[in-house]
Amino acid sequence: MKKWLYGIICILFVASLTACGGGSDKDTSKDNNTTTENTADKAPASNTAADGDKVFQATCAACHGNDLKSGYAADLDKIGSKYSKDEILDIIHNGKGQMPKQNLSDEDADAVATWLAGKK
Ligand code: HEC
């Protein structure tokens, strides 16, 4: 009788160990997957949304101001109603008047132009 009980306890113990082991293994890989998926999911979204902003802060804000209008250069807070994205791209790539052309990758230029074109 005692042996039988011991056997059950043993099996339960081993089973719970296995369950725990397997479970945490799965959890870890799930966590990893979720983390990767989350980053992958979030990255493009926040990249497209934030990248224009980021590029602007890194490249344009020194002259145009962090809030698009406090810099010494032309206000850009309503630039989207003045220029299309393509026109802004053109200004970024070729400069305009006092503004030197900006050395940005096509991707960054596109992101910031898209972002600015939405400022109306
Ligand atoms: C070195 C300073 C400087 C930097 C950096 C700069 N700009 Fe300018 N920007 C100017 C000046 C000055 C003007 C006004 C040019 C003029 O009309 O003579 C201007 C004008 C503009 C205009 C046209 C505004 C209008 O109403 O006609 C746009 C659009 C613009 N900048 C976008 C950008 C973007 C986007 C960036 C970053 C990728 C950037 N600028 C970086 C100085 C700068």
- pLDDT score for 3: 72
pLDDT above 90 (res 34): no
User: In the predicted model, what is the mean pLDDT of residues 55-61?
Assistant: 97
111 CB within 6 A, ligand 1: no
As a whole number of angstroms, the distance between CA 74 and CA 83 comes to: 13
> For residues 78 and 5, which has the higher predicted lDDT (pLDDT)?
78
Confirm if 102 and 95 have CB atoms less than 8 A apart: yes
Give the alpha-carbon dihedral of 15, 16, 21, 27, to 10 degrees.
120
Nearest CA to ligand 1 atom 36: 60
If one residue of 54, 55, 64, 75 were mutated to test the ligand 1 pocket, choosing by the most ligand atoms within 8 A of its CB, it would be: 64
Confirm if 79 and 119 have CB atoms less than 8 A apart: yes
Instruction: Read off the tokens for 11.
Output: 């099996």
Please, which pLDDT band fits residue 28 given cuts at 50, 70 and 90? very low
Instruction: Read off the tokens for 46.
Output: 């926040």
pLDDT above 60 (res 106): yes
Confirm if 52 and 114 have CB atoms less than 8 A apart: yes
Instruction: Read off the tokens for 73.
Output: 């250069």
pLDDT in tens, 70-90: 999 999 999 999 999 999 999
Neighbours of 107 (CB within 10 A): 11
User: In the predicted model, what is the mean pLDDT of residues 7-20?
Assistant: 57
